[in-house]
Amino acid sequence: MRVQTFAPLAVALVLALLAHGPTAAAGDRSVRIVVLGDSLTAGLGLPADEAFPAKLERALKAKGLAIEVINAGVSGDTASGGLARLDWSVPEGTDAVILELGANDMLRGIDPKLTRQALEEIVRRLSARGVPVLLAGMRAAANLGNDYRRAFEALYSDLAGRYDLLLYPFFLDGVAGEAGLNQSDGLHPTAAGVDAIVARILPKVEELVRRARNGRAM
């Protein structure tokens, strides 16, 4: 009698799992974030597992989030370089991008108009693909002059406003100029410096994850 009573129920449960299982699995898939950047992303001078993307992934997973963070940093890359490799650095299946480029443009004194054009084209192409972006800004060195500084630093907020991007105004906030958080070159963060960056940018990245999930559910 028990078999006759519960067998239909068991069959119904199996059928329900088969019907809803694939949908749940798709919804639970890890959010894949690509960090498109330069040596600050690549982790110059650090082991791979101490670079910003790796530490960011661990911090997000510690919060219980299903996340995969891909390191698409190339040391020495400019905004134009990032644009040139965009299609293969940010492949199909990417859910969100952290865009960290411009520091090398500034260090080389590249015209901010050219940097803006390259970053805007990156953002435009990602927007067309429905990929949300967190734009990480950079500050200009004082020796480049006030005019350069104003033009360079404004491009990040301008692009964020125009394309409704999440903006983290200064990627090295709390780290730049701190001897104990930078390597001997004074430009690249130590492992402790990366920890500081991750801690400060984390709320913005969590917001990026929410945008990615909302977009995926549409």
Q: What is the pLDDT of residue 218?
A: 58
Residue 11 pLDDT exceeds 60: no
Instruction: Tell me, yes or no, whether 51 lies in a domain.
Output: yes
Host domain of residue 210: 30-217
Q: What is the pLDDT of residues 18-73, one digit of tens each?
A: 444 443 344 568 999 999 999 999 999 999 999 999 999 999 999 999 999 999 99
Q: Output the pTM of the full model.
A: 0.87
Whichever domain contains 202, its CATH number is 3.40.50.1110
Residue 1 pLDDT exceeds 60: no
Q: Which of 61, 85, 52 shows the shortest CA–CA distance to 209? A: 61
Kindly state the percentage of the chain with pLDDT values over 90: 85
Q: What is the pLDDT of residue 28?
A: 62
Averaged pLDDT, 125-144? 97
Q: What is the pLDDT of residues 149-159, one digit of tens each?
A: 999 999 999 99
- Separation between Cα atoms, residue 32 and residue 23, nearest integer Å: 18
Cα separations in angstroms, 64 against 57, 61, 142, 174, 211: 11, 5, 41, 26, 17
What's the total number of domains in the chain?
1
Confidence of residue 7 (pLDDT cuts 50, 70, 90): very low
Instruction: Tell me, yes or no, whether 3 lies in a domain.
Output: no
Instruction: Tell me, yes or no, whether 4 lies in a domain.
Output: no
Structure tokens at 175: 């780290």
- Separation between Cα atoms, residue 175 and residue 171, nearest integer Å: 9
Q: What is the pLDDT of residues 88-121, one digit of tens each?
A: 999 999 999 999 999 999 999 999 999 999 999 9
Q: Which of 120, 87, 129 shows the shortest CA–CA distance to 101? A: 120
Average pLDDT value for the chain: 90
Q: How many CB atoms lie within 10 A of CB 177?
A: 9
Instruction: Tell me, yes or no, whether 25 lies in a domain.
Output: no
Q: Which of 170, 168, 15, 148 shows the shortest CA–CA distance to 97? A: 168
- Separation between Cα atoms, residue 16 and residue 117, nearest integer Å: 51
Q: What is the pLDDT of residue 55?
A: 98
Q: Which of 26, 30, 29, 99 shows the shortest CA–CA distance to 61? A: 30
Q: Are 132 and 215 spatial neighbours (Cβ–Cβ below 8 Å)?
A: yes
State the catalytic residues: 39, 185, 188
Q: Are 56 and 197 spatial neighbours (Cβ–Cβ below 8 Å)?
A: no
- Separation between Cα atoms, residue 109 and residue 215, nearest integer Å: 37
Specify burial of residue 33 (Cβ count, 10 A radius: 0-12, 13-18, 19+). buried
